[in-house]
Amino acid sequence: MKEFADSQLQRARRIIQTASMLVATDPESAASRAYYAAFHALTALFALRGQSFKKHAALRAALHKDLIKSAEWPTERGKDYDLLTELRENSDYAEVARVTEQRCPARSRSGPTDYRCMSGRALQS
């Protein structure tokens, strides 16, 4: 599991770098990439705990149940993940573009929506 978790974390790091490069020119793609960075960071964390999920919704539910509701992680981090989910769905499926550079979480280098931080915390938790 450690090897799998390491590969997921490396993937998350690569993806968030890509997201950061896309913010100014393609905020919708950046939002989608930021979501997937968080997704892979969480996958790494849960893999280290011996858990795996086949569906995105199951991973999100585990985040809220096992990390947020248990108070292991702050509530804001769950809200941030939910925002990333919403932005990804809007960018991937909405008929009209709804993600702007200002609303794109990948633009931040620090703060609650910075999923590079989440990637690092995945191994600390």
Q: Which residue has the higher pLDDT, 1 or 10?
A: 10
86: pLDDT strictly greater than 60:
yes
Asked which of 38-42, 58-62, 99-103, 116-120 is least confident by mean pLDDT, the reply is 116-120
pLDDT, one tens digit per residue, over 38-58 is 999 999 999 999 999 999 999
Q: Which residue has the higher pLDDT, 78 or 113?
A: 78
Write phi, then psi, for 109 (nearest 5 degrees).
-95, -15
Residue written as token pair 């997704």: 39
Say what the pTM is.
0.77
How many CB atoms within 10 Å of residue 71? 8
pLDDT for the residue 109: 42
Helix (DSSP H) and strand (DSSP E) numbers for the chain: 5, 0
Write phi, then psi, for 112 (nearest 5 degrees).
-65, -25
Q: How is the chain split into domains, by residue range?
A: 2-124
pLDDT for the residue 91: 78
In sequence order, what are the residues at sequence separation of 6 or more whose Cβ sits closer than 8 angstroms to the Cβ of residue 28?
90, 91, 97, 99
* Maximum separation of any 2 CA atoms in the chain, in Å: 41
111: pLDDT strictly greater than 70:
no
**What fold, for 2-124?**
Four Helix Bundle (Hemerythrin (Met), subunit A) (1.20.120)
For the chain, what is the mean pLDDT? Answer: 81
What amino acid is encoded at 26 in this protein?
D
Structure-token pair, residue 68: 């947020």
